[in-house]
Amino acid sequence: MTKYIAFLRAINVGGRTVKMEELRAHFAMPGFKNITTYIQSGNVIFEHSQTDKDILIKKIEAKLLKELGYEVRTILKTIPEVQDIVSASPFAEVPEGMGQHVSFLSSVPEPAAVAALMAFQNEHEQFRVLGTEAYIMVKKGGYGETKFSNTFLEKKLKVAATTRNWATVNKMASL
């Protein structure tokens, strides 16, 4: 059995409220074991014998579309992958007053899109794209005010994204 974390986009934002008990019930499909959630932002931890992530993502997205009535993009990672994401952080030191976030991307963006995105950085909003993750450093508590939102990243990088703060990513890595 492999332990996965499903990072769900559009859960408990924009008026789309889903109770965690309900979300866990939606994951109660054949083969899904030990289903738990972490905080209210759409982090579902489960075990499954299936090793093909694309198959699992399709099952999860289809079930959530059926049950919730809207598309919920799903980024699926194993615990070791999340641990590697934490270890790979390009921000060795985060200055006082700054906070770090990770946007999980649905696929590796084109190099030209990443290069074009670099022009939007400034001293208070920085990012690095490494593979299928965008590491974002912004003024602490200011992620909601930054231009580097999911929507901005999706438009510029032309991939789906869902973002978590650094504390949440570290908690997921410690499971």
Q: Tens of pLDDT along 125-146?
A: 888 999 999 999 988 776 777 7
The CATH number that applies at residue 87 is: 3.30.70
Rounded average pLDDT over 114-119 = 92
- Asked if residues 23 and 69 have their Cβ atoms less than 8 Å apart, the reply is no
The answer for residues whose C-beta is within 8 angstroms of residue 53's C-beta and 6 or more apart is 4, 76
Predicted pLDDT at 172: 94
Q: What are the tens digits of pLDDT across the range 58-81? A: 999 999 999 999 999 999 999 999
Residue 40 and residue 115 in one domain:
no
Q: Mark whether 59 and 130 lie in a shared domain.
A: no
Separation between Cα atoms, residue 74 and residue 5, nearest integer Å: 10
User: What is each CA distance from 49 to 5, 28, 37, 61, 81, in whole angstroms?
Assistant: 14, 14, 19, 18, 17
Q: Are residues 50 and 98 in the same domain?
A: no
Other C-beta atoms lying within 10 Å of the C-beta of residue 54 = 9
Same domain for 89 and 66: no
Q: pTM, whole model, 2 decimals? A: 0.93
Identify the domain boundary among 78, 101, 122: 78
Query: Best-predicted range by mean pLDDT among 5-19, 41-55, 140-154?
Result: 41-55
91, 161: one domain? yes
69 and 87 inside one domain: no
**What was the pLDDT predicted at 100?**
93
In total, how many domains does the chain have? 2
Query: What are φ and ψ of residue 77, in 5° steps?
Result: -135, 150
In this model, does residue 90 exceed pLDDT 90? yes
Identify which has the larger pLDDT, 22 or 147.
22
Cα gap 150→163, rounded to integer Å: 7
